[in-house]
Amino acid sequence: MSDSFSTDPNAQHPQPQAPLIDRPAPVSAASFAPRSTEQLLHDLQVHQLELELQNEELRNTQYALDAERARYFDLYDLAPVGYCTLSEQGLLLEANLTAATLLGLARGALIHQPFSRFVLKADQDIYYLYHKQLLASGQTQSCELRMRTHEGTSFWAHLEATIARNAEGAALHRMVLTDITDRKRLDQTLQERNIELDIARKAAETANHAKSDFLSSMSHELRSPLNSILGFAQLLESGSPAPTVAQKARIDHILHAGWYLLELINEILDLALIEAGKLSYSLEALPLSEILSECQSMSQALAEQSGVQVSIAAFDAPCYVSADRTRLTQLIINLLSNAIKYNRANGTVTVSAQRPASGRVRISVRDTGQGLSEAKLAQLFQPFNRLGQESSGITGTGIGLVVCKRLIEMMGGAIGVESTLGVGSVFWIELNTTAPPGFSAGSAARMPAPALAPSEPVARQRTVLYVEDNEANMELVAQLVAPRTDLRLLRAYDAVQGIALANSESPDVILLDIHLPGMNGLQALRVLQLNPATRQIPVLALSANAMPSDIEKGLAAGFLRYLTKPILNKELMQALDHALELVQPRAND
């Protein structure tokens, strides 16, 4: 930008004029011969033409200069940002129209004004530091600060300046001034929004923790009395003498209601964990035919009781799906159970698989039930909605399909249904297929273990220490163990007493509750592991803390098995026998 001309668009510029040419004094024609006169006239005409061409070039140059000045005015004065020239002392020497508009003064009134007078007092230090660094470094500097107009209106500005020199060598500041008020306002809004979101996130996390604590507590409080109800009912069912027909019917009602309540608790917990994103799962390559066969076996008892035939169509080729084994089994068993329960007498359930698209497989469960209307189809996958089956006498929670939908979507799949009234329904799920897994230690671990050789009978009686603060649970286990003449039960009602008995009596197996007064079961297990006298004793957890995180934490701590209440009496006995087999060599020492 040159300081040698004005940028005022109203300035009058002189029009180009033909230069004055010194003309020779007239010469008398009589002094020249005719030939010489003609030559002279010709030369004068040529010279006149040259002068006219030169004048035309001068006029074109002037026009070009005027055009450049107009372009300069457009680019400089009408730019969307402010341009200012400041002296080394920070005085305004020149400003374009945008800068003048931002500062609220005419350009003429800005001349020799200190730029700092337009900076808010609170941000003066920012401006002085910026000005100092510019002079010291000679490099381009920038900053953001608050400014005010001549009328006192404040705005946010971005300053960027560099050093230049005028004709006398004095330092000049070439500054770009940009109004960033809107951006700052947006930044402030976003910052406030982020703070609000952070507060909301923390509140949600607190609520989730409270919800998890509540669910864990609810599960524990419900499972503890259920353990007694179902445990003693199982004892009555298998007692001697056998119950009468009437007593058996009453016991069946107790067991039926108890297991239904347990199913409801489990499904509510599953749904809550899925919605909270805390349900653990691990995707692996699973053989679909093997999974379906296992699910058919587990559903066979219900099918026989209901008089329903379950069949699985043969696979043309091996098919592996990407899924969590436990969750996929849970999902398919739920679909099979529904197809069996809501079927007609002597009905059928057919399971088949198709490939609707590359990389996907669809497993269809077709029943011969009554089918669903369009209105009922629209209500599927709603929690606690049993579609009018509440009074049918068929047990159900109305949560199973909701859990199925969440589980299949969690594993990257989909679920759907097709139904015809009077004909039946087809519930289907789709999963991603995958390549068969290579042989690995993990696959070897799933291979059936070789049968153990029959062991020699142990002469001495085996000792089981049970640490439990609930008297009803303690009495239940005592009655379970009572028929076993090969077992002796030691009782402890807190962790300290249990650790003392473990040291003095050296039991073969320890049953340990988690929720104990004072020292809890996990802490007690740690003490037992650190003591050389007790570290080899297998410890089984027997707890109403049944959240998946509780089970994972318990197994990671070192429990041989983690059994949840209510317990299946046979399952507890099997776990005890397994633990006793592990310590049998020690018993023979």
Give pLDDT tens digits for 185-244.
999 999 999 999 999 988 887 777 776 677 667 777 777 787 778 888 888 887 778 888
Residue 17 pLDDT more than 60?
Answer: no
Domains 82-179 and 462-587 belong to one CATH topology: no
CA 401 – CA 342 distance, rounded (Å): 14
pLDDT in tens, 257-300: 777 677 767 767 766 667 666 666 788 899 998 889 888 887 88
- What's the CATH fold of domain 284-438? Heat Shock Protein 90 (3.30.565)
Query: For the whole model, what pTM was predicted?
Result: 0.44
Q: Which two tokens stand for residue 179?
A: 């109004």
Q: What is the pLDDT confidence band of residue 453, given thresholds at 50, 70 and 90? A: very low
Domain boundaries, the chain: 30-77, 82-179, 284-438, 462-587
pLDDT in tens, 294-336: 888 878 888 888 899 999 888 777 889 999 887 888 888 888 9
Tell me which long-range contacts 409-412 makes (C-beta under 8 A, separation of at least 24).
Answer: 410/274, 410/279, 410/281, 410/327, 411/281, 411/283, 411/322, 411/323, 411/324, 411/327, 411/328, 412/283, 412/322
- What's the CATH fold of domain 82-179? Beta-Lactamase (3.30.450)
* Residue where the block lists tokens 């004005």: 6
HEC profile for 417-441?
A: EEEECCCEEEEEEEEEECCCCCCCH
* Residue where the block lists tokens 């969750």: 327
Q: What is the mean pLDDT of residues 371-395?
A: 66
Residue 438 pLDDT more than 90?
Answer: no
pLDDT value of position 207: 77
CA 338 – CA 384 distance, rounded (Å): 15
Residue 20 pLDDT more than 50?
Answer: no
Lowest mean pLDDT among 66-70, 312-316, 401-405: 66-70
- What's the CATH fold of domain 462-587? Rossmann fold (3.40.50)
pLDDT in tens, 541-585: 988 887 777 888 899 999 999 988 887 888 888 899 999 988 864
pLDDT value of position 385: 57
Residue 359 pLDDT more than 80?
Answer: yes
